[in-house]
Amino acid sequence: MNENKKIVVYVDLDDTLVNFMSGVKKCPKETVARFERDENGKNQLDNIPGVFALMEPMTGAVEAFQWLAEHFDTYILSTAPWNNPSAWCDKLEWVKTHLGKAAYKRLILSHRKDLLRGDYLIDDSDRADILRFQGKHIQIGKEPFKDWTAVLDYFKSIVEH
């Protein structure tokens, strides 16, 4: 690793650091039913007010983020639903509560992840903007990065070189 330039790593929130469905499961069934599908059949669960405040961390995610933050220039890069203003605040509160000092002023909310400069983006999604990201996309949840253990093994090998 070039000692003059720290490697920049972005980490997604939804289904990467946080378990999205863990929040949905805590919502009243009537609320979930109202947001399950819109008139076009599209899932709208991310528009449930307050849902992001209820989410639990993915297994190993908090420890992994802490380790990444110690070794790299690490940021949280997430998309917040446009029609759910509480999500923007809830994501910030989640980061403060679960990631603490390591994530202080390191939350970026954007609908265009491809516009950011960096070396790595750890994200469960393969949306078009993510695939256009100029650095390396680490798609967590799929081989060879099936979980946080596999992701950390990869990044530990970078630190060792």
Catalogue the active-site residues: 12, 14
Answer left, alpha or beta for residue 15, where phi above 0 means left and psi between -120 and 50 means alpha: left
| CB-neighbour burial class of residue 60 (10 A; exposed 0-12, middle 13-18, buried 19+) | middle
Q: Read off φ and ψ for residue 116, nearest 5 degrees.
A: -85, 145
CA distance linking residue 50 with residue 42, whole number of Å: 20
**Are 87 and 100 a contacting pair, CB within 8 Å?**
no
- Sheet architecture: strand order including 107-109: 107-109, 73-78, 8-11, 120-123, 136-139
Q: List, in order, residues 6 or more apart from 134 with CB less than 8 Å away.
A: 114, 117, 118
